[in-house]
Amino acid sequence: MAPGWAHWSIGDLKKVDGTDTRVWNDETFGTFVLPGNDGKPAPVFAGGSNIGISAKSKEPGLSRELMKIIFSADFQKQLGGAGLGPANSDYVSSLGDDQFAKALIESASNSKLTPAAPGWATIEANSVMEEFFSKIEGASDLATLAKEYDDKLTPILNAQ
């Protein structure tokens, strides 16, 4: 399991126009979107890193200008060109049309916003979700594993 931009780190490292580039072919790698229980793509978190203007910003005007740049069409297309999901679905075509782009676009079709919880940053910083996902394959009892991580995540999410 990997985010859409991870394909830049797989494949064979080769020189392309004098630059080290990861090269893959469709016979070596395949992608698919994790299916949900309802037949649609499983829900994924949209966003990852959050962005905003601090209430204590010393330069709120400059911060607003930066936000305008970040959410501009040009910048959103740059994100897509780098394999990162644009914040605006109007620019998903900038991701390209290879199998990785198609999987990213399909998975984003059922995305949910990152929880607005006080402890979410702690969960990300400690890679708790990655730890959970790594244990799914070898788990003999998924319900018990899910409960274990629910019990682990809930107090972190609600920490002030």
The pLDDT tens digits of the residues spanning 17-62 come to: 777 666 666 566 678 888 888 888 888 877 655 677 888 899 999 9
Cβ atoms 7, 86 nearer than 8 A: no
Q: What pTM value is reported for the model?
A: 0.59
Instruction: Using pLDDT thresholds of 50, 70 and 90, give the confidence band for residue 98.
Output: confident
With a pLDDT cut of 90, the percent of the chain lying above it is 31
How far is it, in rounded angstroms, from Cα 108 to Cα 16?
Answer: 30
Alpha helices in the chain (DSSP H): 60-70, 73-81, 99-108, 120-125, 128-136, 142-158
**Residue 153 has what pLDDT?**
94
Residue-by-residue DSSP string for 67-88:
HHHHTSHHHHHHHHHTTPPPSS
How far is it, in rounded angstroms, from Cα 85 to Cα 125?
Answer: 21
Cβ atoms 87, 21 nearer than 8 A: no
Q: What is the mean pLDDT of residues 60-77?
A: 94
